[in-house]
Structure 1
């Protein structure tokens, strides 16, 4: 099948490469000339494990190419996937729909043959109905919604072997077309849910809101544990044994960030207000507040470890991206903490395995190092802020020899606290008071 993927950012680049890899003819489209050049040369414009291999295979097969021409795309595609961003608006929590609207308007003015437009962007409920009216001038064109569920760091796997495929359609023809698009996945018995567009639009924002709520819940419990002298890790383990709750997303720490969860829960709440049911999602304001408070709590603990004042202290920061296995620093809790510590007068040195370039663009005032030991040299406090596997492999004895003072804040609850303490480190972790950490080491 001939398809276009309009927007070659994180979602679009992965979708285009993977769709070509499973046998479709794909044309990727973007207004960014440099991005199109990089993709054409087989260079992903961001770090994502496995994407370079899939992109190389797809280009070599001649089933994938890229262009900046929407006119060419309109002539080429039987199916057009809309994968452009829906960032938070500058003046509110609502989603900025200008990019999606522009793509649909651009296609409507250029389409000549029957086709299916499929939205994959995360949008407010009611978007399909609103945009269908904008397609009134286009002959025999349908609009469907097929939300993405990609996790950064696992995007290729999530595209080729997703947990489920959800499509929102208004005709049997559209459903048949999407079943053909995803035929290899259906052959592998991946669940396929065909529903109305409004329900499909709600699935993604509902899933993200639930995950954000679960993360903020355990972080709220971490704050209680700190006050009560309890251990949030053991608490989460105990909760996770309840099959109704489960252990996933119950790791207390610095909280969530990135380009999806924060803006999606705000946009969902804003849309509920527009629909007149804002009270139904009022709890999301609390979820957001708990998440942001984790950043302030982390700075507070860092200040305590530094002796009550950060001014003039050298602080090492391990991790800049919002999560491991990514170079994405959008709304990164790690960078927010690093910047806040710097704002209190500390000398901050940051290391990250993949995110230094993007971090430097976002926060040029910070100092960046290519090796963890160099970032930690002479440090008064070490802050572990992104849970890269490589940080678990650090030798606490060796690290103790390069710092000025062996004091560690594990804001992700991902390091072996007992191992670090045995090497002479003072270790703090959110939700794990000193008595709780001592008990955990027994």
Structure 2
């Protein structure tokens, strides 16, 4: 099928390349000429495992191309809209400027029977408003939310755990759902659930899923706060309650909290939208979740200060990680960088290292020191703090090797990802999050 993808950022670039990889003819469209030039050369503009391979294959096969000309969308049967919905600068609500502009720009090139499929994360009610613009062209609007995990985005697009389609009522909606089934046939044929809903439900599926995940993460971090004043071990607590099938052990890992370009801004936008709907009290707990999340970053900094007996000024501190999570170079709302910046603000000589995110981090926080090589970053450090659980730190760095490089033997495990017993046995003073 001929497909256009409007917006070639993280979501759009992955979606365009993935759709080409399963056989569709895809044109990706974006206003950023530099981004389009990079993609047209078959180069991934950001780090995402597997993207470079399918991007190169799509360009070479002729199934995938990129342009800044919206007119190139004409002739496509389905138009996916995957532009960003950042948090507004003056509040918590989502900024729909890019979504509205993308749809407005697409309208002149729509034909009777076309499908406009929204993938961006938007406040509930947005699809109904956009449908009023799309319907007069003879096209149909559907809402097809994405559920990508950074680091697994290619897999989650090609082989998702579920597909959701918010469609209008009646025959028009049934036809639209059938077209999406055709697009996603390889996944559906393998048994991926395809759930057809109304617009509002489809919009709420994404934000409610993110809100639930944020709640689970924040809950265990709240338990870490209690553990720290009682002498309990939150990692053992999480293991014990995780065996309960009603709870499960996923996302029950205490640390410095969540970050990235989606979860924090999505739960804030959800709270803001609930307030607009007069139901702010229904999700009031999300504000507390946000506060818990931010407190854990400060707690990690406190542990470093306490470990150094309050003498942080001029101390060399190595920060292992800059990306908000492993297998990504995304530094948006990164807890890792937040911790590094706070330590720098206390007068520490901070050295940050990361396998993929140094360039992005350096551009946003040039005041910090950066070293690409892990061992070079560790050399001479008075203290080490792990803030992104890359395998290079949690699996491939032995405490004995680390001790041979550093000046001090203090390690703060901001992700509770190290073997505490092994590090202590090697002579390190180990501090975890919510651990004795």
1:141 match: 139
Aligned position for 1:22: 22
Instruction: State which of 338, 342, 345 in structure 1 corresponds to 2:340.
Output: 338
Q: Indicate which of 154, 157, 166 corresponds to 2:155.
A: 157
SS in structure 2 opposite 1:135?
helix
Gaps spanning 5+ residues in structure 2: where?
none
2:228, 2:435 within 8 Å by CA — same for their partners in 1?
A: yes
- State the secondary structure of the residue aligned to 2:318: strand
Provide the C-alpha distance between the structure 2 equivalents of 1:414 and 1:302, rounded to a whole number of angstroms. 17
> Aligned pair 1:380/2:382, yes or no?
yes
Alpha-carbon distance between aligned partners in 2 of 1:418 and 1:217, rounded to the nearest angstrom:
26
Residue 102 (structure 2) pairs with residue 103 (structure 1): yes
Question: 1:167, 1:407 → 2: CA distance?
Answer: 51
Shift of 1:72: 1.6
| Equivalent in the alignment of 1:190 | 192
Deviations 1:230-250 (A, max 9, x none): 110110000100000000000
Q: Which aligned runs of 4 or more in structure 1 are off by greater than 4 angstroms?
A: none
Question: Could you state the TM-score of these two structures normalised by the residue count of structure 2?
Answer: 0.98
Q: Give 2:246's match in structure 1, choosing from 239, 244, 247.
A: 244
What corresponds to 2:427 in structure 1? 424
Match of 1:168 in 2: 166
> Which residue in the other structure is 2:76 paired with?
77
The match for 2:274 among 265, 272, 275 is: 272
Deviation for aligned residue 1:134: 2.4
Task: Tell me if 1:288 matches 2:290.
Answer: yes
In 2: Cα distance, 1:320 partner to 1:142 partner:
42
State the Cα distance separating 1:329 from its structure 2 match.
Answer: 0.3
8 Å CA contact retained: 1:115, 1:142 = yes
More off after superposition, 245-254 vs 125-134: 125-134
- Cα offset, 1:395, TM superposition: 2.0
Aligned residues between the structures: 431
Residues 129-155 of structure 1 deviation map (CA, whole Å, 9 limit, x = unaligned)? 11112235x421111100000000000
How many angstroms apart in 2 are the aligned matches of 1:40 and 1:72? 15
Of 399-408 and 205-214, the range deviating more from structure 2:
399-408
Contact 2:111–2:139, Cα closer than 8 Å, also in 1: no
CA distance in 2, matches of 1:164, 1:381: 44
Q: How far is the alpha carbon of 1:414 from its aligned partner?
A: 0.3
- Tell me the equivalent position of 2:359: 357
Shift of 1:344: 0.6
Report the Cα offset of residue 173 of structure 1. 1.2
| Contact 1:4–1:76 (Cα < 8 Å) also in 2 | no
Give 1:413's aligned residue. Answer: 416
SS of structure 1 residue aligned to 2:217: helix
Distance 2:319 2:426 in 1: 19
| Alpha-carbon distance, 1:114 to partner | 3.2
Deviations 1:83-135 (A, max 9, x none): 00000000110000000000111112333443110000000001111111223
Report the CA distance between 1:359 and its aligned residue: 0.5
* Match in the other structure for 1:436: none
- Counting only pairs closer than 5 Å after superposition, residues 57-76 of structure 1 correspond to structure 2 as 57-73=57-73, 75-76=74-75
The answer for the alignment partner of 1:202 in structure 2 is: 204
